[in-house]
Amino acid sequence: MVDPLEADEIASELDTITFGRHVITYDTIGSTNSEAAALAAQGAEEGTLVLAETQTEGRGRLSRPWYSPPFVNLYFSVILRPRIPPSQASMLTLTAGVALAEAIRQQTDLPAGLKWPNDVLIRSKKIGGILADLTADRLKIKHLILGIGLNVNLEAGLLPSEISETASSLMIEFGRAVSRLEMLKTVVNQLERWYTLFLNRGPGPIIEKYSGLSNTIGRKIRVTYQDRMLEGEAVGLAENGGLVVRGRDGITSTVLAGDVVHLR
Ligand code: BTN
């Protein structure tokens, strides 16, 4: 049964001050991140939520497409205007990861974990991802669009073959349907909570929480970045959100953006 998400239902009963107080919904859009960026450029306020039932050009990290079938999942973006240096922006991807994992745990008790930097996993399968699009000059962030895709009630048979082995949904893992509306509200509440904590207290609390939820830290990994490849152990997170890796030669490097494979 098709049960569309309505803007007034989303905005009611949130525990937030700014997040989700202004909601714009679309049946179909290219990408909620692109739409939110256009609205932000026109002056839309912080916390504005842009949501679509389906995306025709949903984007993942590293220019990958994001599979966005209608009415079963969540695709939304939040406009942020944080007063932090652009060099700290990667921390917001980690902040959103913590919020997503916490919301899933709160709503379903499923053991949601995080693969650095932006994947949400349950039992090693990807069920959600975060895409942060930054608009900044050298010293100041103009806006940052935090885009979230979460597979909620997607049936296993509907997963495209190229991701059928590696992706899943809350329904597949939980064994029954999950309310998209309740899930969305819980994520939005958690997002504002962790975002505010980050702005008030800096990266420490997020790094601590993310490390506890991380499936990457403590693992042997291979990370590809800037046409380079590094194998070693993920030993922690840096204050700018980068992944600290101890290479096989014992030398420690911090990778700010890269693609990780968990080796074992
Ligand atoms: C990833 O894991 O690579 C990130 C996926 C992010 C997908 C979401 S869906 C809503 C928002 N709009 C987009 O085009 N992408 C993000």
Ligand 1 pocket member 149 (CB < 6 A): yes
Which amino acid is residue 126, in one-letter code?
K
Does the beta carbon of 66 lie inside 6 Å of ligand 1?
yes
Q: Cα 78–84–87 angle (5° rounding)?
A: 100
pTM for the complete prediction?
A: 0.97
Nearest-atom number in ligand 1 for the CA of 148 is 8
73 lines ligand 1 (CB under 6 A): no
Provide the pLDDT for residue 1: 67
What residue owns the CA closest to ligand 1's atom 7? 149
CB 28 within 8 A of CB 56: yes
Q: Is the CB of 216 inside a 6 Å radius of any atom of ligand 1? A: no
Q: Judge if the upstream peptide bond of residue 85 is cis by omega within 30 degrees of 0.
A: no
Question: Does the CB atom of residue 75 touch ligand 1 within 6 A?
Answer: yes
Q: Distance between CA 93 and CA 131 in Å, rounded? A: 7
Residue 26: closest CA among 98, 86, 77 = 77
The 10s digit of each residue's pLDDT in 234-251 is 999 999 999 999 999 999
For the segment 77-106, the average pLDDT, to the nearest whole number, is 98
pLDDT, one tens digit per residue, over 103-151 is: 999 999 999 999 999 999 999 999 999 999 999 998 999 999 999 999 9
